[in-house]
Amino acid sequence: MRYVIIGSGVAGIAAIEAIRSVDKAGEVVMIGDDPHGFYSRPGLAYYLTGELHDKALFPRSREAYEQLNFGFLRARVTHISCAEHTLEIDGAKRLKYDRLLIAVGAQAVPLEVPGAKLEGVVKLDHLNDAKHILKLAKRGKTAVVVGGGITALELTEGLLARGVTVHYLLRGDRYWSNVLDERESRSVEGRLQAEGVTLHYHAELVEIKGRNNHVSGIRLLDGRTMKCDMVAYAIGIRPRLELARASDLAVDRGILVNEHLQTNDPDIFAAGDVAQAYDPLTGRSVLDSLWTPAREQGYVAGLNMAGKKKAYLKSPPFNVTRLAGLTTTIIGAVGHGRDEDVLGVARGDSETWRQLPDAIVAQTGFDVNHIRLLVGEKTLIGAVVMGDQTLSTPLQKIIANGADISPIRNHLLQPDAPIADLIADFWTMWRREAAL
């Protein structure tokens, strides 16, 4: 049996671990076009700020890879022939497969304005992008950041840490408006401004100006101009669907998969940012761009590829991130609508967060420590925890397990309710009852 994984990210590595837990003898081949192989994509933010050395981005030792016993081919798959069970590699070489996993991830939505190809226009998809940004970022330079979500802040804070003057453009009137509420947005914005970032609201980029093929400034829709040396953008990501489309696999916003992460071809599976998986919370197939779902999907896909049937049960999306230096956990469904600064989904994002069913908001805290709960009829549907993270894991477990919060629901909804105390007491009671 030959298993082939296209893509060298966390979904692909998890799939190999799962395959090896079932099949020790089968041949496993990973094909990837990222020159650095497998590394921590979430760690790039900390590499940009200088908090992580590039070696720390690589969590696996050579010995760990050797134990998994797989071959790695640094190349690009250019075509899949489903009928023949073969791959075309770099436009020429052919490789047979018995089971195939597509885990090629997603790529940044390109910035489509005049001047977008100039040197100094940067994104943050890969480690090479981060290295390129650090090469360009020098003290005394000025950068404009365009976009929304987590990656836009990673770019902003990374550039700031390198001594670059940063202007952040927001097309709307606040940051990440379809996931954060106004208080949360303002808290992040205030911290950015305190760090020296200049925010520009209702600012739409229409042109990047250049001199000698390098960025020299920008022009906004309202006619304003601004001098700068760099333009960093994060306006959303798009699953890499070219291979799937050309192979007549079923696609929507991503590659459509069933509960076994199987495509409409029974020998081809998909996992990670490229896969559109069923979400029991909303009853829809959704895209995630989160490390944990990618790892879980890859592992379940690997088990199924090796013949051990297992359904992927998507848990409520859970992400711990840092927004303007403020540790923030986002769980379940917390927002709605669209964000003017992002097209589709962004990195570190989940479509589930914005598919909010009927819920009532309960919140407490101030700028640094803040909890917002989305309260359903009998369960908590989502939560945002900023600052103190003591309750983030209990809330994740309460939401993921659909715990019946009826005993405290009315108390949570009282004005000035001591939400943290109520959740802490409920967590203790619920765990004790679950243990009995």
Question: Which of 309, 402, 318 shows the shortest CA–CA distance to 352?
Answer: 318
Mean pLDDT of 220-225: 96
CATH topology of domain 2-106+238-305: FAD/NAD(P)-binding domain (3.50.50)
pLDDT tens for each residue of 77-114 = 999 999 999 999 998 889 999 999 999 999 999 999 99
Sorting pLDDT into bands at 50, 70 and 90, what band is 417?
Answer: confident
The rounded percent of the chain whose pLDDT value lies above 90 is 75
The CA-to-CA distance between both ends of the chain, in Å, stands at 45
CA distance 405 to 16: 39
State residue 91's pLDDT score: 85
* pLDDT at 139 > cutoff 90: no
* pLDDT at 264 > cutoff 80: yes
Every domain of the chain and the residues it spans: 2-106+238-305, 110-235, 318-435
Provide the total of helices (H) and of strands (E) in the chain, helices listed first: 11, 26
Sorting pLDDT into bands at 50, 70 and 90, what band is 357?
Answer: low
Chain centroid to CA 158: 17
Q: What are the beta bridge partners of residue 139?
A: none
State residue 344's pLDDT score: 65
pLDDT tens for each residue of 162-209 = 999 999 999 999 999 988 989 999 999 999 999 999 999 999 999 999
CA distance 303 to 63: 23
* pLDDT at 298 > cutoff 60: yes
State whether residue 49 is helix, strand or coil: helix
Token representation of residue 169? 């453009």
State residue 92's pLDDT score: 85
State residue 435's pLDDT score: 76
Cβ burial 72-97 (10 Å sphere, 16+ → b, else e): ebeeebeebeeeebbbebeeeeebeb
**Phi-psi region at 149: left, alpha or beta (left = phi > 0; alpha = psi -120 to 50):** left
Sorting pLDDT into bands at 50, 70 and 90, what band is 334?
Answer: confident
Mean pLDDT of 297-323: 93
Q: How much is the mean pLDDT over the chain?
A: 91
One fold for 2-106+238-305 and 110-235: yes
* pLDDT at 30 > cutoff 80: yes
* Helices assigned H by DSSP within 147-181: 149-161
pLDDT tens for each residue of 6-27 = 999 999 999 999 999 999 999 9
User: Do the Cβ atoms of 68 and 20 come closer than 8 Å?
Assistant: yes
CA distance 221 to 93: 48
CA distance 419 to 8: 42
State residue 242's pLDDT score: 96
State residue 93's pLDDT score: 86
The rounded percent of the chain whose pLDDT value lies above 70 is 93
CA Rg, the chain, in Å?
23
Range with lowest mean pLDDT among 230-239, 268-277, 427-436: 427-436
User: Do the Cβ atoms of 19 and 3 come closer than 8 Å?
Assistant: yes
Q: How far is CA 224 from CA 115, 205, 230, 430, in A?
A: 16, 10, 17, 56
State residue 140's pLDDT score: 85
User: Do the Cβ atoms of 184 and 384 come closer than 8 Å?
Assistant: yes
Continuous segment of H or E residues that includes residue 426:
helix 419-435
Sorting pLDDT into bands at 50, 70 and 90, what band is 314?
Answer: confident
State whether residue 134 is helix, strand or coil: helix
User: Do the Cβ atoms of 293 and 300 come closer than 8 Å?
Assistant: no
Sorting pLDDT into bands at 50, 70 and 90, what band is 317?
Answer: confident
pLDDT greater at residue 381 or residue 215: 215
Q: From 1.10.1380.10, 3.50.50.60, 3.40.50.300, 3.40.50.720, which CATH number describes the 110-235 domain?
A: 3.50.50.60
Question: Which of 350, 347, 349 shows the shortest CA–CA distance to 124?
Answer: 347
Q: Which amino acid is at 237?
A: I
* pLDDT at 247 > cutoff 90: yes
Range with lowest mean pLDDT among 340-354, 386-400, 415-429: 340-354
Mean pLDDT of 217-241: 97
Cβ burial 172-201 (10 Å sphere, 16+ → b, else e): bebbbbbbbbeebbebbbebbeeeebebbe
Please give the CATH number for the structural domain made up of 318-435: 3.30.390.30
Around 240, how many Cα atoms within 13 Å sit in the side-chain half-sphere?
18
In terms of Cβ atoms closer than 10 Å to its own Cβ (0-12, 13-18, 19+), residue 152 is buried
* Angle, alpha carbons 177-349-76 (nearest 5°): 140
**Phi-psi region at 329: left, alpha or beta (left = phi > 0; alpha = psi -120 to 50):** beta
State residue 346's pLDDT score: 67
State residue 316's pLDDT score: 83
